[in-house]
Chains A and B, each alone.
Chain A
Amino acid sequence: MTARLARLGAIGAIVVPIVVLALGAVSIRWFFPQVLPAEWSGEPAHDLLTASVTVRALSSGLLVATWVTVIALFVAWPAAKVLARPGLRWRGIIMALLLLPSVVPPIGLAMGINVALLNLGVEGTTAAVVAAHLVPALPYTVAALAAAFIRHDGRIDQQAASLGAPPSYVLLHVTIPALRGGLAAAAVLTFIVSWSQYLLTLLAGSGRVVTVTMLLFNAVSGGNPSTIGTLALVAIVPVAVLVALVVGPLERTEGAA
């Protein structure tokens, strides 16, 4: 019984704040003590969503996240395949190295990457931001893909090859379809890591590459509540949709081996 209450409380703790944001997005002058908005208005949200700055930020964020996902998958695939094999020496060390971006305090990592890009002369470009995002994202891509490879029975690949199929065929028509759940999960995870970045985008992009999270952060000090609510929803909704799409494969990644 307590477990059920705890569960409902936990779900509420996550859902309620998001609903509050949504209410703020479609109202105006929603001041204390109004529990539900007294003045509803879709206009501020509409104006914001159609503003060119918002559209540009959305497309920047999508572009960067997509590039990061594609490159990360490309690079992580061979690594994950190898790491999934039980016998590899130094496996532990490699996994520890891949953990490195997560154990460095984010502010230090972001400042350091900013200086690195500045010295290379590429800071402020979209490519720089993509490169910067790869650093925190890759570990997740590798981990998710490795988990998928672990559950993958490599023998069907071998069978296909022994039946005369060329390696490219095996890859495209046997391995990838078999792994598509894990692949989807890895892609979504990577996309989300890139999409959610704020500090790295700010510093690597020198403020020139503007994503939704950056607009949202600026809105906190300058925008009205409906702007903030709308931008926050724009930041959250794609993530929520993607998560809903891959919950199944994600769960199977964590399920019994």
Chain B
Amino acid sequence: MTIRRRLVALVAVLTVVAAACSTGSSPDGSAADRQNVPEVSEWDAVVSQARGQTVRWYLWGGSDSINRFVDETYAPALEERYGITLERVPVADTVDAVNQVLAEKEAGKDRGAVDLIWINGENFKSLKDAGLLRTDWAEEIPNARHVDWDDPSLNLDFGVPVDGAESPWSSAQFQFVYDTARTTEGDLPRSYAQLKDWACANPGRFTYIAPGPGAFQGTRFAKGALFELSGGADQWATFDQARWDEWSPELWAYLNQLKPCLWRSGTTYPKDENELHKLFANDEVDLTITQAAVGPGSLIDEGLVPKTSKAFTFDANSIGDYNYVAIPSNAPNPAAALVLANLILDPAMQALQLDPANGFGLGFGIDAATVTDEDDRKALDDAAASRGTAAAPIDELAASRVSDGAAEYQDLVEQGWRREVAGGT
């Protein structure tokens, strides 16, 4: 009995000691043993190495239609053309994939679990700054010739130089959505100033997504207001603390004036798009938002919003940008990831993105003007023309489109909003 008692005590002590000791970081891994992938310029070698591999693509799983699009468009093509298996890994938030890679680095893992991430903005910055992304490949893959890499809204991601570390997938632009059955087009607000008047004339019928990590649509809404208040978006392309100090009080003042007129008097905000769509569909608020080039088209098909919904933008300051795919430096199947990234830019694939029937609905990542193949060109043009009646008019979109600001403002807006407007943790 005494022996048993001692044994138990020993185990208990060992456990506590083990816990206390191992809270330290794990031993440094040896220099990343990158899988020997042929040079990207030797594309045939890359393709043949990729054959038989499985590519694990981590992407935000919150949209059924996007998930379906990926499963039904890229997966079969990868299988048939390249013999690659696509494993789509849904994450609740891209930051989870980022944390995965960061944690793998901390644990010294040279072969991680992530091959490709759907990424942009602050998440891209995190991984790039940590040196955890494969670089200098995005402009070398064959279909990169269709990408307008000279365009600053492409080669800068939230103001961070891309440096070939990510390749475009699609483009998005911030728009509002209204219900033609409830609101007439003439009554719609066309600027943030008009929005405030409109919201206060109809108290409780408008709200916006709470800006925060992973809720970039809310941040985008706030940034649009900032651009309008400060007289323009271009000045925000570079980071300038003084400019922020000058204009952010105006932003908080605006949002705080808007607050009492909001849904639930601004005491709470929807935390994601789905929640806002639900309020809109159930007649609690009159506006929701979307980023898709097809407007609410796919949302209507999914049954998330009424059939009579339509998109529109303000006259200016509608933030548009690209989203990308990136390959972690410890990806176990980088060759397959490269092939997938290239496939995404294939003009025929890009045309499929825009067609509302396919459920994706985000805009092109490539420049249609660079496509010389006739059939591909036709497919792209048809897709652009068939965005559907729910989409906002193209000239309206083009006229109001502005680039996002420098990356540093993202966090400042989000933290500032929490502090100055929401008053929460």
Contact = CB atoms under 8 A, between A and B. Distances in A.
A and B interact physically: yes
Interface in B137-162: none
B23 A115 contact: yes
A28 B67 CA distance: 19
A208 B87 CA distance: 11
Contacts of A115: 23
B274 A31 contact: no
Contact of A118 (B64, B107, B272): B107
A203 to B, nearest CB: 11
A220 interface: yes
A218 B61 contact: yes
Contacts, number: 81
Contact of B281 (A31, A52, A53, A121): A31
Contact of B92 (A31, A51, A208, A217): A217
Interface in A90-143: 115-116, 118-119, 121, 124
Interface string B99-132: 0100100010100010000000000000000000
Contacts of A225: 278, 303
B379 to A, nearest CB: 26
Size category of the binding interface on chain B: 35 or more
B62 A222 contact: yes
Given A222-B62, A222-B64, A224-B303, A31 B283 contact: yes
B90 A210 contact: yes
Interface in A14-34: 28-29, 31-33
A52 B75 CA distance: 12
Q: Which of B22, B89, B302 gathers most chain A CB within 10 Å?
A: B302
B89 A208 contact: yes
Nearest to A210: B90
A206 B100 CA distance: 7
A121 B282 contact: no
Contacts of A118: 103, 107
A119 B303 CA distance: 44
A121 B107 contact: yes
Interface in B287-332: 302-304, 306-307
B38 to A, nearest CB: 29
Q: Which of A48, A208, A221 gathers most chain B CB within 10 Å?
A: A221
Size category of the binding interface on chain A: 20 to 34
B91 A220 contact: no
Given A31-B283, A208-B113, A221 B100 contact: no
Interface string A216-232: 01111111111100000
B271 interface: yes
B274 A220 contact: yes
B377 interface: no
B418 interface: no
A48 B65 CA distance: 11
A249 interface: no
Q: Is the interface of A mostly helix, strand, loop or mixed?
A: helix
A221 B62 contact: yes
B88 interface: yes
A56 to B, nearest CB: 10
B303 A207 contact: no
Interface in B66-89: 67-68, 71, 88-89
Contacts of A217: 92
Given A32-B282, A218-B90, A220-B274, A207 B96 contact: yes
Contacts of B282: 31-32
A223 B273 CA distance: 10
Q: Which of B68, B88, B304, B307 gathers most chain A CB within 10 Å?
A: B304
Interface in B2-22: 19, 22
A220 B303 CA distance: 15
B370 interface: no
Contact of B63 (A31, A44, A220, A222): A222
Nearest to A228: B274
B96 A221 contact: no
A29 B306 contact: yes
B90 A53 contact: yes
A251 to B, nearest CB: 36
Contact of A227 (B19, B64, B89, B103): B64
Contacts of A207: 89, 91-92, 96, 100
B372 interface: no
A223 B100 CA distance: 24
Contacts of B272: 221-222
Contacts of A32: 282-284
Nearest to A220: B274
Contacts of B136: none
B302 A224 contact: yes
Contacts of B367: none
Contacts of B64: 48, 222-224, 227
Contacts of A28: 303
* Minimum-distance CB pairs A-B, first 8: A222-B62, A32-B282, A28-B303, A221-B272, A29-B303, A224-B302, A224-B304, A31-B281
Given A53-B71, A219-B62, 17 more contacts: A32-B282, A32-B284, A53-B67, A53-B88, A53-B90, A119-B107, A207-B92, A217-B92, A221-B62, A221-B271, A221-B272, A221-B275, A222-B61, A223-B274, A224-B64, A224-B304, A226-B303
10 contacts: A29-B281, A33-B283, A53-B61, A53-B90, A207-B89, A215-B90, A220-B274, A221-B272, A221-B273, A223-B62
